[in-house]
Amino acid sequence: MREWADFTAEADDNGGTRLVLTGPLLISSIGVIDRKLRDWQGSVEEIDLTEAGPVDTVGAWIVWRFARDTGAQITGASEDAQRLIEAVQGAQGEGNVEAPRLPLITRVPAAVGTRVYNWGLGVVNLLGFLGAILIAFGSLVRHPRRLRIASITRQFELVGVSALGIIGLMSFLIGIVIAQQGAVQLRQFGAEIYTVNLTGRLAVRELGVLMTAIMVAGRSGSAFAAQIGTMKLTEEVDAMRTIGVSPLEALILPRLIAAVLMMPLLGFFSAGLAIIGGAFVSDLTLGIPFFTFLSRIQEVVPLHDIWVCMVKAPVFGLIVALAGCYQGMQVRGNSEEVGLRTTMAVVQGIFMVIVLDAFFAVFFTEVGWG
Amino acid sequence: MSEEQIAASVERRALRFDPERFQGEYPVVVEGLVNRFDGIAVHEGLDLKVRRGEVLGVVGGSGTGKSVLMRSIIGLQVPDEGQIEVLGHKVTDLAEGSQADIRSRWGVLFQGGALFSTLTVGENVEVPLREFYPEIEPELRHEIARYKVRLSGLPEDAASKFPSELSGGMKKRAGLARALALDPELLFLDEPTAGLDPVGAAAFDRLTRELADVLGLTVFLITHDLDTLYEICDRVAVLADRKVIAVGTIPELLALDHPWIQEYFNGPRGRAAKASQERAKAMDKPAGGKA
């Protein structure tokens, strides 16, 4: 069991009070005596350390603080104790340990104001970022040799090829769910055969590309933000600038280009696997043979649905990659910011994709691609 | 609250371990240490003893495994072979409970300071206090954090600042304040003066020596800084050829005939450091001041 430091009060020769401290005055043993000394009422003339054990700075601090507050004399201190008491005496401070915190009544308006101000700043920043990307892209078009083929190929692999497995599996399962659930509803009208139309058109027109965009936002948008953010923290981005390499050209354009080019392929792949999933479950539960399902798809899915898919996919890819790269470039300060910005990249990316998808749905129907 | 209640409530909150001061002669004993990375040996049968109360400088060329040695001693790197004893406990086969015990008795300053970036400097100092001594009242914890920050040579208002608001030198001092939070017996410093300007580095050296003397610390100090070696180290251990090839005072090392040691201490920088130390001594003597 731990031995706690303690004290006893006795009367000294002149009728005053003397505290005799006993036990080790160490950080591990001062829990009790600290509380008792804080509760102490009354005057003390002398603090006697002759019976105290070893002392460290925490013990010295407590003795000295009590002496300061009561005006008592410290006697019988060993050489070590004397030295430590002098050291802590010279180091007493008044400052706060926590970061300064305003009262609630000012903090709330201040927080709201900061939010609004930062939102405005964010809009300006984003516009500036888009402009810088356009300029960088323009100069890349004029000097196509500066295109970083190796870097783009690497991003192709990361964004596209390595995502095939997870996107394929996800789409296959979603195809199964659509066909199976759709069939349950359509059976009520005896219209099970329309499961093919439902699965085919939904997969090609909407879900394939939308789910892919969400998956790419989660896999690649977050990776863009975290990579670029970490490079900002370690000053790699600044190092690039000083060497004369534009971070926009070296880091951001390859990622944007890769996402824009890979998204249509991934979206199409996803739609295809969703249809295969639908065909698979129809074969098992509806009695529509697998290949009959696939050949019906050719008849019921109009070609313009493919075009809808191919128009939406690169736009979604651009949005997701832009959100990732933009948030990555906004990182400054500490490692917490990287996590925060990565989250924002994914949330913004997915949100913008869904907003745009709603817009596209109305738009394409209006132009007659319904 | 009555006195018994106070004692009972404090004891209820305290952790169940009983830290004891180390009384032996060698707080750190490394025997036959072997560390390999991908089959390449960094240490091969390394032996080292650190004496109680000394400031031991550890030098060696880049890649000789100075940091790996320190990480092995503090248990961050599990060695392939060998025995490491810290404060009388074997680090290599410690049970969880006694690990907590010896961890409360050493302080480590990492190269970049390694401050927790989401906490203020003061809160950084409080982290080990909360961890090992939950029975300490918040007021006392704040007081301790405050005086440790000042003891490490930082201004009062630094306690409420975040690490990102501090300069490199101040971060090191804040890291030192955290390393000293529990009044450790052993202090590990990994290149404390790297990246500091000469004035800041000299001030940090003086601070280390002062604290070591006042608090009675044993200091294990990795450094490249020759001035640091001359100014504050009692003994110097030289790492080369995967071993500690020599331990001793600088004059003792200079008497050895090892090419790396000769080059290290007798190179232009070594001579400059020696000369500046002799100048400082000569200037101090007439005034009778302390170095």
Beta carbons of A95 and B159 less than 8 Å apart? yes
For A8, the closest chain B residue by CA position comes to B3
Measured CA distances, B71 to B46, B188, B190 (Å): 14, 10, 10
- A229 — pLDDT class (breaks 50, 70, 90): very high
- Taking only the tens place, the pLDDT of each residue in B46-94 is 899 999 889 999 988 888 888 889 988 888 888 888 888 888 888 877 6
Question: How far is residue A159 from each of residues A177, A208, A217, measured CA to CA in Å?
Answer: 26, 16, 10
- Taking only the tens place, the pLDDT of each residue in A261-292 is 999 999 999 999 999 999 999 999 888 899 99
Please report the residues numbered 48 through 67 in chain B whose beta carbons come closer than 8 angstroms to any beta carbon of chain A: none
The pLDDT tens digits for A24-55 are 888 888 888 888 888 888 788 888 888 888 88
The residue of chain B nearest to residue A94, with distances taken between CA atoms, is B156
pLDDT higher than threshold 60 for residue B286 = no
Task: Tell me the pLDDT tens digit for each residue of B249-267.
Answer: 888 888 888 888 888 888 8
Q: Which of residues 177-216 of B touch A (CB under 8 A)?
A: 182-183, 214-216
**Rounded Cα distance, A246 and A242, in Å:** 9
- In this structure, the number of other CB atoms found within 10 A of the CB of residue A135 comes to 12
* Closest CB from A2, A54, A90 relative to B14: A2
Please check whether residue B114 touches A, CB under 8 A: no
Residue in B13, B20, B144, B147 to test binding to A, most A beta-carbons within 10 Å: B147
Q: Cβ contact (<8 Å) for B159 and A97? A: yes
Window 84-123 of A: residues touching B by CB (8 A cutoff) are 84, 87-88, 90-100
B158 reaches A (C-beta below 8 A): yes
Choose the weakest-confidence range: A290-294, B98-102, B200-204, B230-234: B98-102
Residue B105 phi/psi, 5° resolution?
-115, 5
Dist. CA A149–CA A155, nearest whole Å = 10
Q: Is the pTM of this model over 0.80?
A: no
Interface touch B147/A38, C-beta < 8 Å = no
Put simply, the answer to whether A27 touches B10 (Cβ < 8 Å) is no
**Helix (H/G/I), strand (E/B), else coil: A25:** strand
Higher-pLDDT residue of B94, B175: B175
Instruction: Strand B89-90: give its sheet, edge to edge.
Output: B40-50, B28-37, B81-86, B89-90
Q: Are B31 and B46 in contact (CB under 8 A)?
A: no
**What is the tens place of the pLDDT at every residue in B104-125?**
888 899 887 888 888 899 999 9
For residue B281, pLDDT over 80 is answered with: no
Chain-chain contact of B123 with A83 (C-beta, under 8 angstroms): no
**Crossing angle for the helix pair B259-266 and B268-287, nearest 10 degrees?**
50
Confirm if B196 and B208 have CB atoms less than 8 A apart: no
Nearest by Cα to A345 from A126, A120, A117, A115: A126
Yes or no, beta carbons of B135 and A80 under 8 Å apart? no
Which ranges in A91-217 belong to alpha helices (H)? 104-142, 149-155, 164-187, 195-201, 208-216
Helix (H) and strand (E) counts in chain A = 15, 5
Give the separation between CA A147 and CA A142, rounded to whole angstroms.
Answer: 10
pLDDT of residue B208: 87
How many Å apart are CA B185 and CA B101, to the nearest integer? 12
User: How many residues are listed for chain A in this entry?
Assistant: 370
Higher pLDDT, A66 or B287: A66
Q: Does A234 touch chain B (CB under 8 A)?
A: no
Answer whether B133 sits within 8 Å of A80, measured CB to CB: no
Q: How far apart are CA A329 and CA A341, in angstroms?
A: 9
Contacts 24+ apart (CB under 8 A), A129-132: A129/A326, A129/A329, A130/A322, A132/A248
Cβ neighbour number for residue B239 with a 10 Å cutoff: 24
| Greatest CA separation for chain A | 112
Sorting pLDDT into bands at 50, 70 and 90, what band is B287? Answer: very low
The pLDDT tens digits for A109-118 are 999 999 999 9
Say if the Cβ atoms of A35 and B6 lie within 8 Å. Answer: yes
Could you tell me if B140 lies within 8 Å of chain A, comparing CB atoms?
Answer: yes
Integer Cα distance of A20 and A40 in angstroms: 14
Residues of A in contact with B161 (CB under 8 A): 99
Cβ–Cβ gap A97/B146 under 8 Å = yes
Q: What is the pLDDT of residue A197?
A: 93
A65/A92 Cα distance (integer angstroms): 9
Q: From the centroid of its chain, how far is CA B282?
A: 30
Residue B139, class by beta-carbon neighbours within 10 Å (0-12 exposed, 13-18 middle, 19+ buried)?
Answer: exposed
Interface contact flag, B120 A98, Cβ < 8 Å: yes
Rounded to a whole number of angstroms, the distance from the CA of A341 to the nearest CA of chain B is: 15
Give yes or no for B8 touching A (CB within 8 A): no
The pLDDT of residue A366 is 93
Rounded to the nearest integer, the mean pLDDT of chain B is 84
Residue A61 has pLDDT above 60, yes or no: yes
Is 50 exceeded by the pLDDT of residue B138?
Answer: yes
Kindly give the pairing relationship between strand B186-190 and strand B218-222: parallel
pLDDT higher than 50, residue B291 = no
pLDDT in tens, A303-339: 999 999 999 999 999 999 999 999 999 998 778 889 9
Which chain A residue has its CA at the smallest distance from B180's CA?
Answer: A57
Average pLDDT, chain A: 90
A194 burial (CB, 10 Å; 0-12 / 13-18 / 19+) is: middle
pLDDT at B289: 41
Chain A, nearest residue to B154 by Cα: A91
**Alpha-carbon gap, residue B239 to B260, rounded angstroms:** 10
Bridge-partner residues for B205, per DSSP?
none
Dihedral over Cα of A48, A52, A57, A59: its sign: negative
CB contact under 8 A, A94 and B161: no
Q: How confident is the model at residue B96 (pLDDT cuts 50, 70, 90)?
A: low
Give the number of other Cβ atoms within 10 Å of residue B49's Cβ.
16
Of all residues in chain A, the one with the smallest CA distance to B19 is A28
Nearest residue of A to residue B217, measured between CA atoms: A56
Instruction: Give the integer Cα–Cα distance in Å for B256 and B242.
Output: 18
Q: Which residue of A has its CA nearest to B115?
A: A334
Q: Give me the mean pLDDT over the A13-31 stretch.
A: 83
B30 CA to centre of own chain: 16
**Does B248 touch chain A if contact means CB atoms closer than 8 Å?**
no
Rg (C-alpha) for chain A, rounded Å, is 35
Report which DSSP code applies to A203: I
Closest of B36, B110, B111, B103 to residue B75, by C-alpha: B103
Q: Please tell me the distance in Å from B208's CA to the nearest CA on chain A.
A: 14
Mutate to test the interface with B, among A4, A6, A22, A28 (most CBs of B within 10 A): A28
- B177 and B107 in contact (C-beta within 8 Å)? no
- Tell me what pLDDT residue B288 has: 43
Q: Backbone phi, then psi, for B174, in 5-degree steps?
A: -65, -40
